[in-house]
Amino acid sequence: LGLSMGLFGTAATAQTEAVEPAEDAYTRAMNLGYAYTNEFDYQTALINFRRALEERPDDAYATIAIANVEYYIERNRIAKLQAEIDTLQARLNLAAQTKDWVCVTATVDDLIPYADGLERARLIGYRSQLTGVLESRTDIEFWSTVCSPEQPLM
């Protein structure tokens, strides 16, 4: 009898270990969210963390994960905007140095939507000054050299 109980106990243990419990929807969504976060796919991670929160409303882990991923998305958005502004500023500086007033004007036009407050007012004022320069055709031989297709953005 002792021998058969030992065999029964071993078989039951082996059967329990062989059958993994299926992940519930919350755990699956959280695991996917973490995996996508590690791959820097923040939009997909956010979708999965929100699914997890739907499964367990008011869950602290899902709520914190969503806040973190939203922060990463916003941080990346701001970094991308700053990179675009930096590129435009560099182009503006080069165009001004080379007296390519057409490119300066186009670049100022491109920068205005990014600016606010005093910086926006300064750019708009500069833009109106450039209109006079363009009308006078000052340094026309240098125009359209910096912004030309042969000279791409930096």
Per-residue pLDDT tens digits for 84-113: 999 999 999 998 898 888 889 999 999 999
What average pLDDT does this structure show over 129-138? 81
pLDDT of residue 6: 45
pLDDT of residue 28: 97
**Burial group, residue 9, by CB count within 10 angstroms (0-12, 13-18, 19+):** exposed
* Total-model pTM: 0.65
Instruction: State percent of the chain over pLDDT 70.
Output: 78
Predicted confidence band of residue 140 (pLDDT cuts 50, 70, 90): confident
Per-residue pLDDT tens digits for 77-87: 999 999 999 99
Per-residue pLDDT tens digits for 5-44: 444 444 444 444 444 456 899 999 999 999 999 999 999 9
Q: Quote the mean pLDDT of the chain.
A: 84
